[in-house]
Amino acid sequence: MSRRILLAAALLSLAGCRRSGPPSDTLRLALINDPVMNAPLSPDIGSVLINKVIFPGLMRPSDSITPEPDLATGYRISPDGRRYTFTLRSGVVWHDGKPFTATDVKFTFDRILDPKSGTLQWSDFSVVDSVTIADPLTVDFWLKSPFAPFLTLLGHNAGIIPAHAFTGPIADQVDFNRSHPVGTGPYQVTESVPGSYIVLTANPKYYGAPPRLSRIVFKIVPDVNAQVAQLRAGELDLVTLEPANLRGLADDPDLRIDQVTVPQHYYVGFNQSLPLFKSPLVRRALTLAVNRQAIIDGVMRGYADYPQGTIPVALREYYADGLPTIPYDTTAALALLAQAGWHRGPGAVLTDAGGRPFQFTMLVDKGNPSREQAAVAVQQDFKRIGVTAQIKTMEFASLVRDYVTPRRHEAYLIWWNTPLDPDQFSYYGTGQSNNDVLYSNRTADSLLAVGRATLDPARRRAAYLAFQAVEAEDPPVLLLYYPREVQVRRAQLMGLPALGIRDALRHAEKLYFRAR
Amino acid sequence: MAGFLVRRVLQGLLVLWLVTTATFLLIHAAPGGPAVLADPKLSAVERQAIEARLGIDQPLATQYLRWHARLLEGDLGRSFLYQTPTLSTVLTRLPNTLALVAASLLLSLVIAVPLGVAVGLAPGGRLDRTVGVINFTSLAIPPFWFGIVAILLVAARWHLLPAGGMVTPGQHDLGDRLAHLALPMAVLALPLSAELIRFLRAAVTGTAAASHVRPAAARGLTRGAVLRRHVLRNTLVPLLTVLGLQIPMLVGGAAVTETVFAWPGMGRLSVEAALGRDYPLVMAIALVVAATVVTANFLLDLAYGWADPRIRSQA
């Protein structure tokens, strides 16, 4: 018995050693996995986030989401839109002290343009034909065709890596990728403990505004409940959460909850190679049958915007503000379905002329409460008009690899998370690589092609507004909502731009803690 | 003795082969695929490049043979997720798990041995009933829930101990490590000591009533001597067995506790590897854990011999 008392005393004395309150010059963030610290590789969300801090790109998204020069000081575009000439910042040095030059830019993009290197950005830049060095501070990008999203994509995940640090394939340089990465960013990696944390220290030679914190620590915390607990215990300073995880946090005087719009749209996709979903009338009807507001209020607890087309409200410039919002109207839905040959039979079940019921399987990934609940809500709404959707939950990897990629899907609840650009040609253009719903509309094709190739902002905007009008008549997907990213931060943390965390971290040097 | 050793080594190798083969079949039979391929944005070109790089474009039989061929060269392959050599990835995590589980095992022994013996000697007493209630409660509480509640109270509300991780980043003193160890250790030790107490109670009750104990007391031995020489000595062998059953956890890690406390151990690594369909990493973990368990069981058999001379003479 006395031994237990001794133990308790020992624990208490240990507890006494703990300092109270966070040191105000260290920002602590969570990653859900051990990152690969090499921008062109970035195979997962943890890597993407930390690489935004370590490896700046030629551009970065500004507060107003338009790209601004970062490692470049400026650019010139040839009249045919196929050549971009970048002037690089002079005097920039890598974290190891070597100078940053055009060689590094070419080295990085030669890796990105070679899918065998292990990069996951090949498709972002497949329009780039080659990169050439004009002089140590000037680089030319030669494009196969004019490509309006190019500058935005340069500021998205395309961080520049140092040519001098690699002797073989970039994926094989384990020490660089896991422990000692070298970038040009405001914070540099000084300690890395696998599975535990990575410490970044302010880079005194940073080319931009001097970083205001002395350290940023990325802790590996895979479990969201553990993240919330650490946030409450004062061991994390900023966490992005799903609305379902927010319970109790609003009452904590040390924390603030911010919400920002992000370029994501959540939807139910229908495989339009199947006769069931071919007709635009049917897809419009299904779209009218869903009570989105109930999903936004109930499942998303209000942390989402009501959708119209596939271009979310976060892309302010291109979002069609004037379009009528999608109503919730089961009567109109049934009328459209009747036009398409579907009538309510016995038991209020919707059947076609041959008496076959309107039924299909709807896939949703396992483990995310918002999406699983949204799927059930959609299923109930469909049931009200006599449509039977059977929900099948499975791991996300299985959904993609076993169903969507081999086109074995009927319907599925999923989302796109895009760069800050309205170009959706690869998602909704006929026969394009990411068009998993197999949507095909000639007018949409040409508008998306124009939007992608037109550099003039006004004409580009007009093309996307017209595209959204087409979507209203012939919906490519059943839009559910545009989620807002919920960022819970320590109240003293300041300087965070009103962008999603991925883009906000491109501005890490601006973050600081105000005095209590 | 030499024949015994050779036999045991061959048996051990057979077990390892069976374990890795079963693991290989199971992980490839699971739906889905490597996490990096789960990105719907990948184009066909990228997908093929990744599959070729990971070697999963080959037929399964080829992959299986290739894994063994590499193993003979001491190469356990490269993790899909971490892009690091799997063996070193596993070996950096192993000490973390050993520290956590060994500490919990020790704590549970410190709690369970005196309590288990005490209740075993007086079954049905007041202490026995109190301990029984606590035992059943702690066995019934899911460790996930218990861990979260412990963090919310001890770390978030009272700020007594850290909420997770193994150290405060950048800090390397022993006190900090122990403070981080305390909560997960306690959460893991609770159900463990409950199990040990239940077990010891049964063993001690049984032995104390055995036919050789009463004559020992009759010979005039003190109560302490009877306890030490006749009761405790005889509960040692079954206690070793129960501890032996905990060995897989000692190396395999406690996935749930490690996840809740963001503890960088083998349990969390295994879960990540399995969910991410990191075939080489799953194989390496299976091999390392199986090899350790086989070795530990062998050592345990030797320990039986030390605890009970009758077993020694049979071997």
SS (H, E, C) A412-437: EEEEEECCCCCCCHHHHCCCCCCCCC
Return mean pLDDT, chain B: 88
Q: Rounded to a whole number, what is the distance in Å from the CA of A497 to chain B's nearest CA?
A: 26
Judged against a pLDDT cut of 90, whether residue B262 lies above it is answered with yes
Helices (H), A155-203: 174-178
- Model confidence at B220, in pLDDT bands (50, 70, 90)? confident
**Span B42-55, pLDDT tens digits:** 888 999 999 998 99
* pLDDT recorded at residue B314: 56
Q: Between the CA of residue B203 and those of A1, B193, B233, what are the distances in Å?
A: 21, 15, 11
Find the CB nearest A36 among B83, B155, B179: B83
Best mutation target among A20, A401, A434 (most B Cβ atoms within 10 Å) is: A401
Are A174 and B151 inside 8 Å of each other by CB? no
Q: What is the mean pLDDT of residues B193-219?
A: 83
Judged against a pLDDT cut of 60, whether residue A12 lies above it is answered with no
Best mutation target among A14, A44, A264 (most B Cβ atoms within 10 Å) is: A14
With a pLDDT cut of 70, the percent of chain B lying above it is: 98
Predicted ipTM of the assembly: 0.88
* pLDDT recorded at residue B312: 62
Judged against a pLDDT cut of 70, whether residue B315 lies above it is answered with no
With a pLDDT cut of 90, the percent of chain A lying above it is: 89
Q: What is the mean pLDDT of residues A436-441?
A: 97
- Model confidence at B308, in pLDDT bands (50, 70, 90)? confident
Per the CB < 8 A criterion, the answer to whether A155 and A66 are in contact is: no
Q: Rounded to a whole number, what is the distance in Å from the CA of B147 to chain A's nearest CA?
A: 9
- Model confidence at A489, in pLDDT bands (50, 70, 90)? very high
Per the CB < 8 A criterion, the answer to whether A501 and A341 are in contact is: no
Measured between beta carbons, which residues in chain A are less than 8 angstroms from residue B81?
33-34, 43-44
Q: Which of B55, B3, B18, B19 is nearest to B278 (CA)?
A: B55
Judged against a pLDDT cut of 80, whether residue B311 lies above it is answered with no
Are B83 and A195 inside 8 Å of each other by CB? no
Judged against a pLDDT cut of 90, whether residue A367 lies above it is answered with no
In chain A, the residue whose alpha carbon lies closest to the alpha carbon of B160 is: A15
Are A174 and B85 inside 8 Å of each other by CB? yes
Residue A51, H or E segment: helix A45-54
Are B264 and A397 inside 8 Å of each other by CB? no
In chain A, the residue whose alpha carbon lies closest to the alpha carbon of B44 is: A433
* pLDDT recorded at residue A325: 84
Q: What is the mean pLDDT of residues B185-213?
A: 86
Residue with the two structure tokens 């199990």 = B195
Question: What count of other Cβ atoms lies within 10 Å of the Cβ of residue A106?
Answer: 19
Top-confidence range, A245-249, A289-293, B88-92, B163-167: A289-293
Judged against a pLDDT cut of 80, whether residue A92 lies above it is answered with yes
Judged against a pLDDT cut of 50, whether residue A15 lies above it is answered with no
In chain A, the residue whose alpha carbon lies closest to the alpha carbon of B170 is: A199
Judged against a pLDDT cut of 80, whether residue A46 lies above it is answered with yes
In chain A, the residue whose alpha carbon lies closest to the alpha carbon of B46 is: A115
Judged against a pLDDT cut of 90, whether residue B22 lies above it is answered with yes
The two three-digit tokens of residue A10, written as one number: 């020992």
Best mutation target among B47, B78, B82 (most A Cβ atoms within 10 Å) is: B82
Are B260 and A234 inside 8 Å of each other by CB? no
Are B47 and A195 inside 8 Å of each other by CB? no
Q: Rounded to a whole number, what is the distance in Å from the CA of B308 to chain A's nearest CA?
A: 29
Q: Rounded to a whole number, what is the distance in Å from the CA of B169 to chain A's nearest CA?
A: 7
Best mutation target among B36, B39, B41, B268 (most A Cβ atoms within 10 Å) is: B41
Measured between beta carbons, which residues in chain A are less than 8 angstroms from residue B107?
7
Q: Rounded to a whole number, what is the distance in Å from the CA of B194 to chain A's nearest CA?
A: 15
Q: Between the CA of residue B153 and those of A11, A26, A233, B148, B161, what are the distances in Å?
A: 15, 25, 9, 9, 10
Judged against a pLDDT cut of 90, whether residue A177 lies above it is answered with yes
In chain B, the residue whose alpha carbon lies closest to the alpha carbon of A36 is: B82
Judged against a pLDDT cut of 70, whether residue A437 lies above it is answered with yes
Question: What count of other Cβ atoms lies within 10 Å of the Cβ of residue A182?
Answer: 19
Q: What is the mean pLDDT of residues B216-221?
A: 78
Return mean pLDDT, chain A: 93
Are A123 and B43 inside 8 Å of each other by CB? yes
Question: What count of other Cβ atoms lies within 10 Å of the Cβ of residue B69?
Answer: 10
Q: Rounded to a whole number, what is the distance in Å from the CA of B151 to chain A's nearest CA?
A: 7
Are B42 and A3 inside 8 Å of each other by CB? no
* Complete domains list, chain B, with CATH: 86-314 (1.10.3720.10)
Complete DSSP assignment for A91-141: S-B-TTSPBP-HHHHHHHHHHHT-GGGT-S-TGGGTTEEEEEEEETTEEEE
- Model confidence at B214, in pLDDT bands (50, 70, 90)? confident
Measured between beta carbons, which residues in chain B are less than 8 angstroms from residue A195?
92-93, 96, 264-265, 268-269
Q: What is the mean pLDDT of residues B224-232?
A: 79
* Complete domains list, chain A, with CATH: 3-39+172-260+489-513 (3.40.190.10), 59-165 (3.90.76.10), 264-484 (3.10.105.10)
Q: What is the mean pLDDT of residues A438-466?
A: 97
Q: Between the CA of residue A117 and those of A109, A230, B109, B267, what are the distances in Å?
A: 11, 37, 52, 31
Gyration radius from chain A CA atoms: 25
**Span A371-415, pLDDT tens digits:** 999 999 999 999 999 999 999 999 998 999 899 999 999 999 999
Q: What is the mean pLDDT of residues A359-382?
A: 95
Judged against a pLDDT cut of 80, whether residue B305 lies above it is answered with no
Judged against a pLDDT cut of 90, whether residue A146 lies above it is answered with yes
Burial bucket for residue B222 (CB in 10 Å: 0-12, 13-18, 19+): exposed
Judged against a pLDDT cut of 70, whether residue A22 lies above it is answered with no
- Model confidence at B237, in pLDDT bands (50, 70, 90)? confident
Per the CB < 8 A criterion, the answer to whether A105 and A135 are in contact is: no
Q: What is the mean pLDDT of residues B126-138?
A: 91
Whether the predicted model's global pTM rises above the 0.80 cut: yes
